[in-house]
Structure 1
Amino acid sequence: MKISDLGEFPLIDRVARIVGVERADVVMGIGDDVAILDCGGEDWLLAKVDSQVEGTHYRTDLITPRQLGRRALAINLSDIAAVGGRPTHALVSLALQADTDVAWVDELYRGLREEGDRFGVVVVGGNMASSPGQAFIDVIVLGSVQRDHAILRAGARPGDSVLVSGRLGDSAAGLRLLLDASLQVSEAEREPLLARHLTPVPRLLESAVIAGSGLATAMIDLSDGLSSDIGHVCERSAVGVRLWEEQLPISAGARHVAELCNEPGWRLALNGGEDYELCFTAPAADAGGLAARIEKQTGTAVTVVGEILPKDEGRWFVLKDGREVELGAGGWDHFAAG
C-alpha cells in the first residue's frame, strides 16, 4: 500500500498508533491543531510545527522570499490561535540548494522577523541543511495558553451554532489569479485577494476574545477548507453539522473570480482552503452576542454559517434553493491520489 492510497489523515492516525502515548504531561498530543503540554506552570505549553515545500506550497516565481517568510510563520501562528493561545518563540529549519542566492535567504528571514514583530514572536534558533532538490522551510512555534482558556476540536454539542471569522474563499481566489493570467479583475479586487493568499493574517486577536469569553465549545483554523476542517471538529466531537450556502461570507472579489472560473462562489469558500480564518462553535443563544463582541473589539466580522447536529443526523450543506446535499471533505489532502 502506498501513502497515496491511504491519504493524509489516515496516515496521521496510523503514525499516532505507533508513537502516541498517554502521559500525565501530555494534555493533547497528535490529533489537534497543536500539542498541549503540562509542564507544571500556571499555563500550558503549546508546540506547533508546519512546513512550506517548494513546488507544493509555494513557487518562487509567484511569491517573494519576504512574503514566504511571513507566510511560513503566519500559518503556524494561526494554529496557536485555533486553541486560544499566545505564541512567543519560533525555530526555523531550512533546507536549500547550495546555489541559492544569499540575498534570497536574507529576505526570507526579514519576512520571518517582520511577521514575528507583529505578534510578539522571536526566532530563537533552528537548523540549516543542503537539499539536492526543492527547498523546504519547517517552522516550530512555541506558546502558552491559560489552562481554562484552551479550546480543542472536541467539545461541540448538538444545538451549537457554527461561526467563522472574516471571509472565506479569498485565498483560493488569489491563488487562481496567480496561476491564470487570463483572469481579468480590477486592481481593487486583485490586490486584497493576492494578499490573502500570499500573506495571510493569523487571527490571534480574535482568538483572545473568543477564549476569554468562555463561550466557545470547539475551534479550528481553516487551512484545508471549511468542508474538511469542520469535518475534523465533527470527528473529534462525535457530532454532525449543517452548513448554509446563503450564510457563507464570500467577498465580491472571490465571487467574481469563481464566476470567471465557471464555478460557484460557495465552492471556493467550502473547499478552497488556506483562508486561515477561525471556525468555532458556541451555544446558539450566545452566538450573536459573541460575534458582535469579536467585531467590536477587533474589527473582524464573524458570521454564523451553520449548526451542530447529533452525529446520527449526518453532515449536510443546504443550497440557496433549499436542497440539502451531503457535506464531504473537499479540501486539501497532501497525499490524496490524483
Structure 2
Amino acid sequence: MRITEIGEFGLIDRVKEAIGPPGAGVVVGIGDDVAVLRARGDKYLLATCDIQVEGIHFLKEAISPYQLGRKAAAINISDIAAMGGLPTYLLVSLALPKETTVEYVDRLYEGLKKETEAAGVQIVGGNMSHSPGVMVDIFLLGEVEAEHLLLRSGARPGDKVLVTGSVGDSGAGLALLLDPTADRTGEEAKQVLKAHLTPTPRLKEGRAIARTRIATSMMDVSDGTVSDMGHICEASGVGVQLWSDALPLSPATRAVAEALGKDPLEWALHSGEDYELIFTAPADKAEKLAALVEEETTTPVTIIGEIIEEGMNLVLPSGESLPLEPGGWDHFRRR
C-alpha cells in the first residue's frame, strides 16, 4: 500500500497506532499540531514542529529568503497561539544546496529573527545539512497555564463557530504567484501576497481568547477553513454548518478573485495558510467573546456557523444546504 492511498492524516493515525498509547506525562500527543506535556508548576509545556520544503511549500523564485524565514517561524508560532499559549524557544534545522550563498542564509535568519523577536521567542540552536533543495524545519517550544489550554476536542452541539480576521487572502496570494499573466502591482495584490508570503500569527488573539475561558475549542487555519473545522469536528465528535454569506472575505481577496475570474468562496473554504484562529463558543456567549477579543486586539472576529450533531454543511443565503468535504491541504493524497 502506498501513502497516497491513505493520505497524510491516515498516515499519522498509522504512526500513532504503531507508537502506542502516550505515557503519564503526555496530555496531548500524536495527532494534534502541538504536543502538550506536563511540567513542574501550573503550566504545560507545548512542543510543535513544522517544515518548509522547496517545491512543496514554496517556490524559491517566488519568495525571498527573508520572507521564507519569517513564514517558517510564523506558522509554528501560530500553532502555539491556537492552544492559547506563549512560544518561548526555537530551534532550526536547515538543509541547503551546496551552491547556496551565505548571503541567502543571512537574509533567511534575518527573517527568522524578525518574526521570533516580535513574539518574544529566542532562537537557541538547530542543525545544518546538505540537500538538493532548501528545507527549513522549525522546532518550537512554548507554555500555557493549565486553565487556559484550548484543544480541538471541546466543541459541543449548539456552539457557534468564530474566526479571526479574514479567510481566503493567502489563497488569493498563491493564485497570483501561480499565474504568470496576473498583475501583482496593485494594492489589493500586494495585500494578498503579503498574507501568503509573510502571514501574521494571531498570538495576542489566541491569548485573549484563552484568558476569557469562554471558548470550547480552537485551531489555526493552516489546511483550510473546512479542513481544519473538520479536525475540530472529528476530535469533538460533532458536525458543523458554515454560513457562506458570513465568511469574512477581505475587499482585496474579492478584487483579486474578480481580476482572475475565480470564486473567492473557494479560497475562503479550502485554500488554507491564512493562519487565522477558528474556534467555538457557547451560543449565548459567542458575541460577548467576539467583542472582548476585538476590544483587546483590534482584530475583527466573525461568527461563521454553528456546531451540530453530525455532518458538515454549507448553508447558502437561499437557505439551501450543501454537503462539505474537507478539501484542504493533504501532503500525500492524490491530486
Is the TM value for this pair above 0.5?
yes
Deviation of 1:259 (Å): 2.7
Partner of 1:324: 321
CA distance in structure 1 between the aligned counterparts of 2:38 and 2:112, rounded to whole angstroms = 28
Partner of 2:157: 158
Partner of 1:171: 170
Asked whether the equivalents of residues 224 and 272 of structure 1 are also in contact (C-alpha less than 8 Å), the reply is: yes
Once structures 1 and 2 are overlaid, which stretch shifts more, 39-48 or 229-238? 39-48
CA distance in structure 2 between the aligned counterparts of 1:24 and 1:48, rounded to whole angstroms = 19
Partner of 1:181: 180
Deviation of 1:319 (Å): 1.6
Q: What CA deviation, in whole Å up to 9, does each residue of 1:290-310 have, x standing for no partner?
A: 111111110100000000001
CA distance in structure 1 between the aligned counterparts of 2:22 and 2:108, rounded to whole angstroms = 38
Q: CA RMSD in A?
A: 1.1
CA distance in structure 2 between the aligned counterparts of 1:82 and 1:192, rounded to whole angstroms = 24
Q: Counterparts of 1:1-338 in structure 2 under 5 Å?
A: 1-131=1-131, 133-184=132-183, 187-311=186-310, 314-338=311-335
Asked whether the equivalents of residues 258 and 268 of structure 1 are also in contact (C-alpha less than 8 Å), the reply is: no
Q: Which amino acid aligns with 2:326?
A: A
Asked whether the equivalents of residues 46 and 142 of structure 1 are also in contact (C-alpha less than 8 Å), the reply is: yes
Deviation of 1:322 (Å): 2.1
CA distance in structure 2 between the aligned counterparts of 1:228 and 1:19, rounded to whole angstroms = 25
Asked whether the equivalents of residues 270 and 327 of structure 2 are also in contact (C-alpha less than 8 Å), the reply is: yes
CA distance in structure 1 between the aligned counterparts of 2:156 and 2:229, rounded to whole angstroms = 13
Asked whether the equivalents of residues 52 and 58 of structure 2 are also in contact (C-alpha less than 8 Å), the reply is: yes
Percent of counterpart pairs with the same letter? 52
Deviation of 1:109 (Å): 0.6
Asked whether the equivalents of residues 20 and 29 of structure 1 are also in contact (C-alpha less than 8 Å), the reply is: no
What TM-score, normalized to structure 2?
A: 0.98
CA distance in structure 2 between the aligned counterparts of 1:239 and 1:333, rounded to whole angstroms = 22
Deviation of 1:264 (Å): 2.0
Deviation of 1:59 (Å): 1.2
Q: Which amino acid aligns with 2:213?
A: G
Q: What CA deviation, in whole Å up to 9, does each residue of 1:237-263 have, x standing for no partner?
A: 000100000000001221222233333
CA distance in structure 1 between the aligned counterparts of 2:327 and 2:222, rounded to whole angstroms = 12
CA distance in structure 2 between the aligned counterparts of 1:262 and 1:190, rounded to whole angstroms = 14
Q: Which amino acid aligns with 2:272?
A: G
Q: Say which SS state the counterpart of residue 284 (structure 1) adopts.
A: coil
What TM-score, normalized to structure 1?
A: 0.97
CA distance in structure 2 between the aligned counterparts of 1:48 and 1:33, rounded to whole angstroms = 7
| Cα distance change, pair 186–62 in 1 and its aligned pair in 2 (3 A) | closer
Once structures 1 and 2 are overlaid, which stretch shifts more, 205-214 or 187-196? 187-196
Once structures 1 and 2 are overlaid, which stretch shifts more, 273-282 or 176-185? 176-185
CA distance in structure 1 between the aligned counterparts of 2:104 and 2:246, rounded to whole angstroms = 42
In structure 1, stretches of 5+ residues that fail to align are none
Q: Say which SS state the counterpart of residue 61 (structure 2) adopts.
A: coil
Asked whether the equivalents of residues 33 and 83 of structure 1 are also in contact (C-alpha less than 8 Å), the reply is: no
CA distance in structure 1 between the aligned counterparts of 2:241 and 2:98, rounded to whole angstroms = 51
CA distance in structure 1 between the aligned counterparts of 2:104 and 2:185, rounded to whole angstroms = 30
Q: Which amino acid aligns with 2:17?
A: R
Asked whether the equivalents of residues 177 and 183 of structure 1 are also in contact (C-alpha less than 8 Å), the reply is: yes
Q: Say which SS state the counterpart of residue 106 (structure 1) adopts.
A: helix
Deviation of 1:188 (Å): 1.7
Deviation of 1:186 (Å): 6.1
CA distance in structure 2 between the aligned counterparts of 1:73 and 1:306, rounded to whole angstroms = 30
CA distance in structure 2 between the aligned counterparts of 1:115 and 1:185, rounded to whole angstroms = 25
Asked whether the equivalents of residues 5 and 336 of structure 1 are also in contact (C-alpha less than 8 Å), the reply is: yes
Once structures 1 and 2 are overlaid, which stretch shifts more, 249-258 or 260-269? 260-269
